[in-house]
Amino acid sequence: MDSESKGSLIGSFLQPPAKMIPAPFVCGEPKKLAAAGENGPSICYNQAVMSALRTLQEKIHCLELERSCAEENLHSLSVAAAQYKRALEHKSFRNVTAHHRLMQQRKDVSVQLNAAQSSCSLLEKQLDYMRRMVERAVLENKMILEQQKEKNQNQISTQRIAEDKIKHLEEKLCKEEHQYKLIEDKAAQCQTEFEINKILMSSDSSERELKKRSRKKKSPKKVIRRLSLSRFCR
């Protein structure tokens, strides 16, 4: 390909043609064309062809440059596209990772929320149970206080009744003691009279007659004394 391009008239923009028509054959020189004689028309044709070939070569060169630029741009675009693709893949991976992380966090938060709700429900049940226990304890304490109050009132009334009974018994005992003292005094008096009568009955025999006389005179008095003594001894 290189040897053919060098031997050709067209070549390429990288390798210009080896055979070029010399400048004196350009159509712009009328003197040299006139001197050429009969070969003038063919030379002008060849020059026109060469001019067209040069124009075409320049266009081809421009196209080659454009193609090279396009290839470079395409390569740059390919590199940029690959980088962008990698960036998108990385971004997509990061997005997927972030999405998974977010879903995991959401799942964890949901689990924590469910656990918190369960704990709240349990605490509410415990609170309700404690509230019922407190209410029950208050009612029981109130009942105990009422029972204690009633018991105290019963004790007070029972104590009052007992005190009244004790007072009544004390009064009765005092009366009995007084009666016992009266009876004791009467018994002592009877004993004294009995001793006196005994002494009187055991008097000297020398005075019997006097006593008999005195008995006849004092017999009603002795009967009265004996009757009074028997009454006190009872």
57: which residues sit within 8 A by CB, 6+ positions away?
10, 11, 13, 16, 17
Contact (CB, 8 A) for 60 and 13:
yes
Q: Which residue has the tokens 């009666």?
A: 179
pLDDT for the residue numbered 35? 46
Contact (CB, 8 A) for 178 and 185:
no
- Regarding predicted confidence, which is higher, 71 or 233? 71
Integer Rg of the chain from CA: 82
pTM value is: 0.33
Any domain includes 55: yes
Q: Which residue has the tokens 């940029």?
A: 80
d(CA 159, CA 166) in angstroms, rounded, equals: 10
Tens of pLDDT, residues 5-56: 444 444 444 444 444 444 444 444 444 444 444 555 667 777 888 888 888 8
Quick check: helix, strand or coil at residue 98? Answer: helix
Contact (CB, 8 A) for 43 and 36:
yes
DSSP strands (E only) in the chain:
none
- Regarding predicted confidence, which is higher, 224 or 84? 84
Any domain includes 118: no
pLDDT for the residue numbered 139? 92
pLDDT for the residue numbered 207? 64
Residue-range definition of the domain harbouring residue 7: 2-95
Tens of pLDDT, residues 60-86: 888 888 888 888 888 887 888 788 788
Contact (CB, 8 A) for 190 and 233:
yes
* Residue 25: count of CB within 10 angstroms of its CB: 15
Quick check: helix, strand or coil at residue 9? Answer: coil
d(CA 94, CA 100) in angstroms, rounded, equals: 10
Any domain includes 19: yes
Count of domains in the chain?
1
User: Is the pLDDT assigned to residue 222 strictly greater than 60?
Assistant: no
Contact (CB, 8 A) for 42 and 53:
no
d(CA 138, CA 130) in angstroms, rounded, equals: 12
Tens of pLDDT, residues 133-186: 889 989 998 999 999 888 888 888 888 888 898 998 899 889 988 988 898 888
User: Is the pLDDT assigned to residue 202 strictly greater than 70?
Assistant: no
User: Is the pLDDT assigned to residue 95 strictly greater than 60?
Assistant: yes
